[in-house]
Amino acid sequence: MAKQMHPTPMLDELEKGPWPSFVTGLKRLAKDKDYMVDVLGHLEHSYKTRKGYWKGGTVGVIGYGGGVIPRFTEIKDEKGAAVFKDAAEFHTIRIMPPPGMHYDTDTLRMFCDVWEKYGSGLIALHGQSGDIMMQGCTTENVQKAWDEINQQGFDMGGAGPAVRTAMSCVGAARCEQSCYDEAKAHQMVINTFLDDIHRPALPYKFKFKFSGCGNDCMNSIQRADMAVIGTWRDNMSTDDALGKKWFAKHGMNELINDVVSRCPSKALQIKDSKDVRKDSHISAVALNDSQSLEVDNKDCVRCMHCINVMTGALGVGKDKGASILIGGHSHLKIGATMGTVVVPFMSMKNDEDYEKLVEVAQSAIDFFAENALEHERTGEMIERIGLVNYLEGIGVDVDANMVTTPRMNPYVRTDGWDEEVAKINAKKAAA
């Protein structure tokens, strides 16, 4: 039995309503732990005064320069003593989850046991960083908890100016839209940068995210410094039986309104089956015995919409790989930047392909480490130096897939034009 609870009239309001309540969970933990009694008091104080009261500091484990997020209370009495003394320290340990966030129950129970013993008993699955957040631990217990977790085969996530914990979608494990082995790419890239995760020495954070297709379930384009997004080069796959099944259920109106007219590049047409073009870049799926949906794969941008709607009837192709987009990040400081295409397509089939992906990641990290200003993300750096300088820095040739449109102003010196054309033509001839 723990000490008596502080009154928490405001937090009590968050036990009402049907959604699972974190307050009920905190109170359950507070039955056994003085620590959590004071955490509840601390949080209620924030609710009452509408301010946060945790400050950072320096807490770590042997061998690592980051991964623990230290928190010390700032609610002090006039003598400088913590008002909620059992919750004076409330550190978080970030742990990297398995790619795709798959678990067996033994592992989850192991985390529970360790955290009940050494920590608060509160675990966030998962933080926005993609980590398992073991929330709430004293300075004294951080190393002990970490030792047990690490001995169970788990490693620390990133924090501060470092390569951060990566994320990958469920992908090949369950999804037919997966265009590469996301977990394998995730694992190979992260294993290359463990040192940069655990010993923060970069100008600022660098995030990798891996999504198996353009649906980008990991939100990589807006959040990752390097986004790896699955795509394919050949024709969309089709299945006539599933096409007919879909059409029988949904009919022509839905086909036109929800599929054909929503194609962003107008690559879809409804045809009499006998009129479907025979060119190699055309694929078609039967709707009934006489009509088909024709896809011009040269026009298709692999946006995924029609595949999302007519799952199985339409599917991703066989010549699969990924696009790499660089420079996504959120508001501060120049305003949010979207990742932009740096590698339009990389085949992702054999081990050499995955090693090439790691090489691209390595050049992105190396250039970032050398050239970014302090506290500058890759997207901000590219905005400052221009994409062409960035590409030259990482050794990637320009490609028209990298722009929405060519330049719209004349303010550029073009006296190297002929040499550039000659160089590009020579490369084309040699390829």
Helix (H, G, I), strand (E, B) or coil at 92: strand
Q: How far is the CB of 422 from other proteins (least distance, A)?
A: 34
Q: 84-123: which residues touch other proteins (CB under 8 A)?
A: 90, 92, 96-109, 111-113, 115-116, 121-123
Q: What dihedral do alpha carbons 243, 249, 254, 255 form, nearest 10°?
A: 20
CA distance 220 to 326: 10
256 binds other proteins (CB under 8 A): no
Q: Which of 34, 234, 240, 258 binds other proteins (CB under 8 A)?
A: 258
299 is a site residue for other proteins (CB under 8 A): no
Binding to other proteins (CB under 8 A) within 205-224 occurs at: 214-223
Stretch that binds other proteins, among 175-183, 273-281, 355-363, 364-372 (CB under 8 A): 175-183
Nearer to other proteins, 162 or 263 (CB): 263
Of 150, 269, 273, 371, the residue at the interface with other proteins (CB under 8 A) is 150
| Residue closer to other proteins (CB basis): 90 or 247 | 90
What are 150's two structure tokens?
């690490």
Over the window 264 to 283, marking each residue x when it contacts other proteins by CB under 8 A and - when it does not, the resulting string is x-------------------
- The distance of closest approach from Cβ of residue 21 to other proteins in the complex, given in angstroms and rounded to an integer, is 6
Cα–Cα distance for residue pair 307/177, rounded to 1 Å: 8
Residue 262 interacting with other proteins (CB under 8 A): yes
Residue 322, both tokens: 């990924």
Q: How far is the CB of 86 from other proteins (least distance, A)?
A: 16
78 is a contact residue toward other proteins (CB under 8 A): no
Task: Please say whether the beta carbons of 182 and 171 come within 8 A.
Answer: yes
Binder to other proteins among 84, 146, 208, 367 (CB under 8 A)? Answer: 146
| Residue 139 lies near other proteins (rule: CB under 8 A) | no
Is residue 239 a contact residue for other proteins (CB under 8 A)? Answer: yes
Tokens standing for residue 300: 């298709």
| 104 versus 352: smaller Cβ distance to other proteins | 104
Q: Distance between CA atoms of 392 and 374, rounded to whole angstroms?
A: 21
* Chain centroid to CA 233: 23
For other proteins, which stretch binds (CB under 8 A), given 77-85, 191-199, 285-293, 411-419? 191-199
Closest distance of CB 50 from other proteins, Å: 4
Q: Which stretch binds other proteins (CB under 8 A): 331-339, 362-370, 385-393, 409-417?
A: 331-339
Nearest Cα residue to 150 out of 178, 124, 111: 111
Q: Which two tokens stand for residue 283?
A: 């694929």
Report the amino acid identity of residue 67: G
Q: How far is the CB of 225 from other proteins (least distance, A)?
A: 15
- Taking the complex as a whole, the smallest distance from the CB of residue 305 to other proteins amounts, in Å, to 4
Q: State the Cα angle at 128 between 384 and 381, rounded to 5°.
A: 5
Q: From CA 293, how far away is CA 271, in angstroms rounded?
A: 6
Binding to other proteins by CB under 8 A, coded x per residue (else -) over 378-417, reads ----------------------------------------
Distance between CA atoms of 171 and 174, rounded to whole angstroms? Answer: 6
* Integer Cα distance of 315 and 238 in angstroms: 6
3-state SS class at 337: strand
- Does 426 bind other proteins (CB under 8 A)? Our answer is no
Residue carrying the six token digits 């719209």: 408
* Residue 40: CB minimum distance to other proteins, A: 10
In the numeric block, the tokens 């100008």 are attached to: 203
Contact pick of 248, 334, 398, 421 for other proteins (by CB under 8 A): 334
Shortest gap between Cβ of 161 and other proteins (angstroms)? 12
Q: Which three-class secondary structure state does DSSP give residue 292?
A: strand
For residue 177, the surrounding DSSP H or E stretch is: none
DSSP strand pairing (208-211 vs 167-168):
parallel
Among 71, 164, 205, 377, binds other proteins (CB under 8 A): 71
Residue 118 identity (one-letter amino acid): Y
